[in-house]
Copies of this chain bind each other. A is one copy, B any other.
């Protein structure tokens, strides 16, 4: 998979240590040169962070990590390396000296990339042996997680050096943005620097604090920027009329004192160029389709952040608590016919629950059934007070039978029967169907045990919970046992199952 087996790193600050971690978690051996005695500890910290993050990032089988060695000299670091990455402090004289030395001791066929945030590759490669293999590969912190790396060549850089660097980065999960033109700070850091300088002016002027400025990013523009860049977003802000309309409508703001920097004059030539590039970027996709792509991604990003209860995800969680408490108030006042299966849980198949065939994945069936079990337990009085007092029901057995696939966005309903109960056991049967057509999708049979959670032992349920369960069991007794209940899994002894479809 990897393009390389061994990489040399020159400099192991925050960025260099991040490179060490990214290469090592991808199974690539690392030799790092940094005179700072704290370099090894920084790399160990970054690697620990990276391994922790990768264990969560992907369910793909982990790669055996590469070995990490600290080299006492540049020549030692680059010996046998397939690729060299320099991440020294952001001062041109330091970087030039280190790159020149590295170029003298590295095979001329090996690409050497600099992590500089914005120094010109043409300046950096001056004084190097075989400068055609010197380029910039500018990553973003944390290097082991963020995909972006800007690949920029100087006047002496050969095209295949940039291509080689891009291939190396791609093989370790990165997204190389290969630029054609070198300019101080390239592209990303020009944008970062413009925003940063404006932010410093805001603090200098006492307009807002660092935290307010950060909030102004993470709850709004920052969320969008994880999904789309400024140009595509503004195309959508123009509505159906697109980029030209946006420039007509908001171009005037360029003359307002809305930032310390002045924009370029919106000449016809510039407008045409922007509109043409925006059209190329949209590639024929309608505004409405792009809006839905944006919205789907924003929903997914906010749901991702909700798992961390952070930023916009924390806002979403608070908002949902409002919605749920309103719904709970409504359900407490509802009357039910206990002689029918109880429909206590309905849910729509979420986009992240489906596989690439748009079928709900196996474990989500059990998630939905588990939520239906929770709904029944709440219905019979197993509420947050009951749980807090140290009592709960634990599932000890589950038998699921699948009839049909549930698709993304499909509305599901689960109806529930109490097949039996005693002081410690509860025998349930759920039927999952399409909420509107009632087409059966799957059934689940569960045995639960009532436990004292403080000692993790079976214990009798509270009398009022048991009474409520028995009331349901008795009321439903006339329904008879479901066909799918009480079955064991076995290979058939008779003929082949034939062409039964699912």
Contact = CB atoms under 8 A, between A and B. Distances in A.
A499 B259 contact: no
A311 interface: yes
Contact of A56 (B204, B207, B296, B405): B296
A263 B199 CA distance: 9
Nearest to A327: B61
A145 B299 contact: yes
A270 B195 contact: no
Interface string A206-241: 111111111111111111111111111110111100
B1 A326 contact: yes
Contacts of A219: 146-148, 175, 177
A5 to B, nearest CB: 14
Interface string A313-341: 10110011011111100100000000000
A191 B207 contact: no
Contacts of A486: 488-490
Contacts of A49: 291-292, 295
B175 A57 contact: no
A191 B200 contact: no
A392 to B, nearest CB: 8
A253 interface: yes
A98 interface: no
Contacts of A497: 424-425, 449, 458
Q: How large is the interface on A (under 10, 10 to 19, 20 to 34, 35 or more residues)?
A: 35 or more
A457 B501 contact: yes
B489 A447 contact: yes
Interface in A419-458: 419-420, 422-425, 427, 445-447, 449, 451, 453, 455-458
A196 B263 contact: yes
Given A142-B298, A363-B363, A230 B212 contact: no
Residue with the highest number of chain B CB atoms closer than 10 Å, among A148, A357, A501: A148
A362 to B, nearest CB: 4
A140 B220 contact: yes
A351 B59 CA distance: 12
Given A195-B191, A216-B188, A491-B427, A350 B56 contact: yes
16 contacts: A49-B295, A141-B237, A148-B219, A173-B322, A187-B207, A193-B198, A194-B198, A209-B281, A213-B231, A226-B226, A226-B301, A293-B310, A303-B304, A361-B367, A447-B489, A486-B488
